[in-house]
Homo-oligomer: A and B are copies of this chain.
Amino acid sequence: MERVEIKSLFCQAQAYAGKQITVGGWVKTIRNSKALGFIELTDGSSFKNLQVVFDDGRIDNFKEITKLNVGAALVVTGEVVLTPEAKQPLEIHADQIEVEGASSPDYPLQKKRHSLEYLRSIAHLRPRTNTFAAVFRVRSVAAYAIHKFFNERGFVYAHTPIITGSDCEGAGEMFRVTTLDMDNPPRTEDGKVDCSKDFFGKATSLTVSGQLEAECMAMAFSKVYTFGPTFRAENSNTPRHAAEFWMIEPEIAFADLDDDMALARDMIKFVLQYVLEQCPDEMQFFNNFYDKGLLERLENIIRSDFAHVTYTEAVELLEKEKDKFEYPVYWGCDLQTEHERYLTEQVFQKPVFVTDYPKEIKAFYMRMNDDNKTVAAVDLLVPGIGEIIGGSQREERLDRLTARMAELGLKEEDYSWYLDLRRYGGTKHAGFGLGFDRLVMYITGISNIRDVLPFPRTVGTAEY
């Protein structure tokens, strides 16, 4: 008999009432008395489990089933019985239970609460827990929401390169990619590794951003976005940093910083709204067990405006409370997470755009403001996380851009293709980068990035 998904059963309970059906899934709990037993079964399609009632006489392997361990995979055929008084709309009275794959008493996921730290050590099994079933479903739905948002607005999705011969931001620690024999690499006459013998004929790294390439695409399509993995080889052992993470980078032509902020705000609201609609059970679970104020906070964000201050105003606000912070606050400082969180959590109590940062702490490609001190940069800060988006209007004026590059010691020949975008039909344009994993943390209330990535890569850890 064709297998029915548990989610379909729950969604169309009336239609299935009294019918004989087959489901497949895994045992979450099992208990029994002498002649009657109950199994909570999940197939991952629904956050809620299906109750399977099995009874001696009705199935012919009652004994075998009572000996099953949590985690076993079953294929159950039986009758759908509506249960209007129970929490779940229906249950299955089994006529046949086939053991597809047994489990054993040493199954690491017993019916008890495991710590998130312990579960990280069994990342191959943790999607089977309630927490990770909810996290990875929400992650998937949020990713779809991103694609849907941009697709509905006519953006072109661009696959920018992962392996790169150029260092986009002129900064950031990068992973080297090579096929050379590291024990005995070919060397040039002066004893250095001979990169011309490497796979690509030169030294290459993993990308830290697809922005510069996305700009090329935006000068053809006007509206593009990337959504792919990016990498930082930073030795940051914090709950917010992973060495490999997914980033979304839209880039829009004929657009300034205001357009950029409007796009970021609309995107965030769209994704939150979509996840709340599509994952009500998962989101209720996070609200109950991880963050009591979560749903209220997210709903508030969808309804409310985002705040906006300039960097200069933000520093003034922070200086009033400078005794509260570990790191000093002064005009010109890079804002630390403690500063960012204070602004968004204490001062504004909602997401806040901070714009117009000192040029010294921002990248070379950001558009110089008329004060010649600040650039048209924007960060979006959100409660519980701090910075979730960093963006800017790009410097479209060739002379300004090359002057800034010279100040910073960047060579024009390394960026000739990037400068071409200003030589041939350059336009005002802007974009931003959204750390997708941080967005998932923000939506779920999960506080460690290791718990929103299926198989996290952090300093010292690359299991699986």
Interface residues of A (CB under 8 A from B): 3, 5, 7, 24-27, 43-45, 71-73, 75, 100-104, 107-108, 122-125, 127-128, 132-133, 136-137, 139-140, 143-144, 147, 151, 154-166, 173, 175-180, 182-183, 185, 191-193, 199-202, 204, 206, 212-213, 216-217, 219-223, 228-229, 231, 233, 243-244, 246, 253-254, 396, 417-418, 420-428, 453-455, 457, 459-464
Contact = CB atoms under 8 A, between A and B. Distances in A.
A423 B166 CA distance: 46
Given A44-B156, A454-B213, A200 B459 contact: yes
A244 B163 contact: yes
B125 A420 contact: yes
A186 to B, nearest CB: 11
A252 to B, nearest CB: 11
A73 B427 contact: yes
A179 B213 CA distance: 24
Contact of A161 (B165, B217, B464): B464
Contacts of A178: 175-176, 178, 182
Contacts of A147: 143-144, 147
A463 B454 CA distance: 31
B244 A154 contact: no
Contacts of A200: 243, 457, 459-462
7 contacts: A3-B254, A24-B427, A44-B221, A71-B424, A143-B147, A175-B178, A216-B464
A179 B175 contact: yes
In this complex, the member of A133, A193, A216 whose beta carbon has the largest number of chain B beta carbons within 10 angstroms is: A216
Give the number of times this chain occurs in the complex, counting copies: 2
A410 to B, nearest CB: 16
Contacts of A127: 216-217, 219-221
B27 A425 contact: yes
Given A24-B254, A128-B220, 18 more contacts: A7-B154, A26-B220, A73-B426, A100-B426, A104-B423, A125-B216, A127-B216, A140-B158, A143-B147, A159-B229, A160-B454, A162-B244, A176-B182, A177-B206, A178-B182, A200-B460, A200-B462, A228-B228
A396 B101 contact: yes
Contact of A160 (B191, B220, B424, B455): B455
A220 B133 contact: yes
Q: Give me the 3 closest cross-chain CB pairs, A-B, nearest first.
A: A127-B220, A44-B221, A101-B426
Contacts of A202: 462
Contacts of A103: 423-425
Contacts of A123: 216
A163 B243 contact: yes
B219 A128 contact: yes
Contact of A213 (B24, B133, B455): B455
A101 B425 contact: yes
